[in-house]
Chains A and B, each alone.
Chain A
Amino acid sequence: MIHLVWLVPFLPLLGFLINGLGRNFLPKSLTGVIGSGTVLAAFVISLLIFLDVRQPGFAPQVIALFDFISVGSLHIPFAFQVDQLSALFLLIITGVGSLIHIYSTSYMHEESNESFARYFAYLNLFVFSMLILVLGANYVMMFIGWEGVGLCSYLLIGFWFKNISYNKAANKAFIMNRIGDLGFLLGIFLIIQQFGSVTFMEVFEKVPAMGEGSGVLFTIAMLLFIGAMGKSAQIPLYTWLPDAMAGPTPVSALIHAATMVTAGIYMVARSNVIYSLAPHIQAIVAVVGLVTALLAASIALKQNDIKKVLAYSTVSQLGYMFLALGVGAYTAAVFHVMTHAFFKALLFLGSGSVIHAMGGEQDIRKMGGLKKWMPVTNFTFLIGCLAIAGIPGLSGFFSKDEILAHAWGYNKIMYALALIGALMTAFYMFRLYYITFSGKFRGTHEQEHHLHESPAAITLPLIILAILSVIGGYVGLPEVFGAPHLLAEYLSPIFAPSVPYLHAEHLSHGLEWGLMGLSTGLVIVMIFIARGKFRNYEDSGAENTGIAKVLENKWYVDELYDAIIVKPLMVLSRFFQDVVERAGIDGLVNGVGAGVKWGGRQIRLLQNGQVGFYIFAMVIGMIVLFVISLFL
């Protein structure tokens, strides 16, 4: 089955081509079937590949399709690498991806024929790029996918391109990603310069020879991490992700929650050897992740847009993943990517269902009491909230607890801060849940009349994702439960090279139980506080003051960036436009033109038609030539 791996990315590519080229004459039903069918077929193939890969003792396989770049001694093949990590990501991407495609057939049904097909074409292209990203056997392939998903993210955020603010959000996402991409690209160049290859296997083989704490490795790790910062929305490049919610909700679920934003985590996990050998950069990764997690969680506490809350929650959860990577818990990070893909996709799709029912309304202050009308959405959304909050028995609990436990082993203060973040997560998620689904309906009568449960194409993915959110955690049971940690065993070949360099403190069973109990207890307390506060929420309309206002305005980070980066840049641009462009470049060009014109007018006088003058000039020329050739 492994040799058919090229089908996995190329089926969505086929879907993209058919939908993209036939967007003007394909009916919606066919477009939807092609769009979803290709991804579903890719999922089936991925599943078969996964079954092969999960056999114990499976060695990574590289399937080279053709030579992509061959310059001097540098050879970059267009090759796919199938191993435990990429197979797992294949499953997540195609699995969640096909659910979201099915969901989209209903969610986007009100679009016109042409833009419906355009949507599916973009979505398929995204899946293709994402698959290239995780399947690539070298950094350049990864970069191709990396850019591809960035492009699709841009296209889908600005899907409703007639709205100027959506376009601005798309531009913001694209530009912020470019900043990170520059770091990634520089990292790749440095890798080529150092190792003469970009193929993962060759690079990782040569890395340990550099020795722990080598400056070059530090630089590479930092540059790659800058790339990950941009793509995975970490401080300081996170502000694009909340704005990216301008796109259709399934896009937010697929790209900006489940898959694309985890590309940074995938990249760091893939390069785990480099990071394990650069402990200082690992510490930076951990701190950046932790700060992002806390900052985003605190912002989410006060947001009123249902998708913005989820977006900041995503940023926060991504911060947790980077914290895990930073403390050396690579398995925990990948585990959290997986569970997060389930429950965050579920939450986004649930919010999409709500928005659909509300006729496009996203402000939770205008919702309320929706559980009466939307039982399935309500129930699945509740499961998602419980999962992300970390209630024992659901997937989020296991992955988050694993991260917290590793943080404890790394640094006690980090653990305390991460726990506070987790508590905030529980609080804002249940604030969202209670404001949206319980209490009285606060919208208009027309909206109330319109309220309905969504069709099966929407609820079915919700139910499947809810089931996955519940059971997804059981592949990674903590050691204290006595059951094997299936995911850790499965992924161990990927992270084996890092093991000698990690100095994880092993927690005693008692301590682990204690930590679990502590976090669970506090989370339940937070949920009840949120329940008491927001169960019968009434919009007072009062302005927030003090810290709440700061939180509502997202710590004024956008304004800060605007003031220290955008404004000076604008001033500089205007300076260049008005002074350098007008006086310098235009002046130069016009000056050359005017000079030639003037010179022509002067030199034209030489052609006065008088033969005597011509001969005179000829003689002068002869004299000059003689002088030059004879005496100089």
Chain B
Amino acid sequence: MPVQYYIFLSIALFCIGIMGVLMRRNAIIIFMCIELMLNAVNLLLVAFSKMWVDAGRIDAASAQLFVFFVMVVAAAEVSVGLAIIVMMYRNTHSVDINILSRLKN
């Protein structure tokens, strides 16, 4: 199976993520779309890892560890990010990102 399929799938998911970021104003949805983009890249990393392993390079498996670290970072990011969104909601009673268009107030 050509690895191109995975590439296209990843691109599709990534671009859907971008579209979501651009189209929605709900901060939580935007945050989820960012997660979606991260996952698209993760998928691609795993696909390339498999591809190189099949081509004979056993050490390419460590790409999966890279995905592991991405997940770690994503989890940390989500915990802090959601905390910020909760804060924002508590202060403004809205999750519309455009409300945060000023540094003050």
Listed in ascending order, the chain A residues whose CB lies under 8 Å from chain B are: 608-612, 615-616, 619
Contacts and interface: CB of A to CB of B under 8 A. Distances in A.
The 3 lowest CB-CB distance pairs between A and B, nearest first, are A609-B101, A611-B97, A610-B101
13 contacts: A609-B100, A609-B101, A609-B102, A609-B103, A611-B98, A611-B101, A612-B22, A612-B25, A615-B21, A615-B22, A616-B22, A619-B18, A619-B22
B101 A608 contact: yes
Contacts of A612: 21-22, 25, 97-98
Contacts of A610: 97-98, 101
Interface string B8-36: 00000000001001100100000000000
A608 B101 CA distance: 7
A611 B95 CA distance: 13
Contacts of B18: 619
Contacts of B102: 609
Nearest to B21: A615
Given A609-B100, A610-B101, A612-B25, 19 more contacts: A608-B101, A609-B101, A609-B102, A609-B103, A610-B97, A610-B98, A611-B97, A611-B98, A611-B100, A611-B101, A612-B21, A612-B22, A612-B97, A612-B98, A615-B21, A615-B22, A616-B22, A619-B18, A619-B22
A609 B18 CA distance: 19
Q: Is chain A's binding surface mostly helix, strand, loop or mixed?
A: helix
Interface string B82-105: 000000000000000110111100
Nearest to A607: B101
Contacts of A615: 21-22
Contacts of B21: 612, 615
Contacts of B103: 609
A595 B21 CA distance: 35
B84 to A, nearest CB: 13
A615 B98 CA distance: 12
B21 to A, nearest CB: 5
Contacts of A608: 101
A528 B99 CA distance: 111
A611 to B, nearest CB: 5
B37 to A, nearest CB: 11
B27 to A, nearest CB: 9
A608 B100 CA distance: 10
Contacts of B98: 610-612
Contacts of B100: 609, 611
B7 to A, nearest CB: 15
A498 B101 CA distance: 90
Contacts of A619: 18, 22
Contacts of B101: 608-611
Contacts of B25: 612
A289 to B, nearest CB: 83
Contacts of B22: 612, 615-616, 619
A610 B97 CA distance: 7
Residue of A608, A609, A612, A619 with most chain B CB atoms under a 10 A cut-off: A612
Contacts of A611: 97-98, 100-101
A453 B22 CA distance: 105
Nearest to A611: B97
A604 to B, nearest CB: 14
Nearest to B22: A616
Contacts of A616: 22
A612 B103 CA distance: 15
B4 to A, nearest CB: 16
Contacts of B97: 610-612
A610 B100 CA distance: 7
Nearest to A615: B21
A619 B18 CA distance: 8
Contacts of A609: 100-103
B96 to A, nearest CB: 10
A609 B97 CA distance: 10
A609 B101 CA distance: 4
Interface in B48-105: 97-98, 100-103
A437 B98 CA distance: 103
A616 B22 CA distance: 6
A612 B29 CA distance: 12
